[in-house]
Structure 1
Amino acid sequence: MLRTRTAIAAVSFLALSGLYATPAQADPPSRGQLQVDAFFSQYLTAVNGQNQDQTPVDVRNEFLTAQLNQQLDQYQQTHNADPVFRAQNTPVSWSTQYGGSGAGHTTVILTENWAGGQHTQVWYQVELSDLTIDGLEDPPPPPA
């Protein structure tokens, strides 16, 4: 329940401040999208040292499963990059897109936008029952 309130509060703040806008004809964001957006926003703020109340590890512990946290720690050691951003620097903006649902989970595709104009997609898996993020990976390869 706390995660849901955190996600709603974060999106409400972003909407009121004009930082979160959707096209007039777009579907409203799903609960999973709101959760991933709240996580990513809080994580980026913590990484940039703009959140005195939470470190990046605190944010990860709040939103992610312990198993996913372990996988991200391994990713960081293997790739020498931030495991959430999938890079050594931080994105300048991001957007989320609904990727589908099934078996009690929803997929959210987060697109990171970089200063040079490049884009990186990261696919999140969110448990529908409690909105815990239990998967974060690079996009699947295109079909052959």
Structure 2
Amino acid sequence: MTRLRTAAAAVLALSLAGLLAPAPAVAVERPRQHPRSAPDQRLTPAERQVNAFFAQYREDVLNGDLDGARQVREQYLTADLNARLDQWAAENDADPVFRAQNVPTGWSVTQGDSGAGHTTVLLTEQWDDGSTVPVDYRLRLPDLTIDDLENAPA
């Protein structure tokens, strides 16, 4: 009987120790996607690329992380397009991707035409006043790098 009590006490002590011990930290990576954007699994590769760019860029701007937003632009856009966007921003005192001083509340993406080594994706920005602004993104087909935006500065 003493052995049984000792064994039961040991099992109980080990169980409690396991419950009281701190759990190991687990890193969870969440996709950076706005809830109002289209579901990622239903998108074409070009739509996913534009959606990912816009979601990450928007999140960094909303968080006031301008260095992060710049890095996102450098990751997804060509150097030439970045230079044109910088010039546009300086001349217009507005965000060159959103073409505004505020941030869209939502967006959607739709695959456009492809040809001559490029494809287009229509990104429709949705604003808090209910208005929408369509922006055509042009991507190079080999690597899906964004190399132009509709109405991007020449």
TM over 0.5: yes
1:47 aligns with 2:44: no
1:13-40, Cα deviation, whole Å (9 max, x unpaired): 75xx965556xxxxx4221110000000
User: How far apart in 2 are the matches of 1:107 and 1:90?
Assistant: 23
User: How far apart in 2 are the matches of 1:21 and 1:127?
Assistant: 22
User: How far apart in 2 are the matches of 1:81 and 1:112?
Assistant: 15
| CA-CA distance at 1:137 after TM superposition | 2.0
Aligned to 2:72: 59
Aligned to 1:38: 52
Tell me which structure has the larger Cα radius of gyration.
Answer: 2
% identical aligned pairs: 45
Aligned to 2:144: 131
Taking the TM superposition and a 5 Å limit, the aligned residue runs for 1:85-104 are 85-104=98-117
User: How far apart in 2 are the matches of 1:44 and 1:29?
Assistant: 19
Q: Name whichever structure is richer in helix by fraction.
A: 2
Cα RMSD of the aligned pairs, angstroms, is 2.4
User: How far apart in 1 are the matches of 2:38 and 2:72?
Assistant: 24
Task: Give the AA of the match of 1:46.
Answer: D
Q: Is the 8 A contact 1:121 1:138 kept in 2?
A: no
User: How far apart in 2 are the matches of 1:35 and 1:55?
Assistant: 17
| CA-CA distance at 1:79 after TM superposition | 1.6
User: How far apart in 2 are the matches of 1:29 and 1:70?
Assistant: 29
- In the alignment, structure 2 segments of 5+ residues that lack a partner are 1-29
Q: TM-score, normalised by structure 1?
A: 0.75
| CA-CA distance at 1:106 after TM superposition | 0.6
Structure 1 residue runs of 4+, over 3 Å off?
17-22
User: How far apart in 2 are the matches of 1:135 and 1:109?
Assistant: 12
Q: TM-score, normalised by structure 2?
A: 0.70
Query: Judging changes above 3 Å, is the alpha-carbon distance between structure 1 residues 30 and 59 closer, same or farther for their aligned structure 2 residues?
Result: same
Task: Give the AA of the match of 1:44.
Answer: R
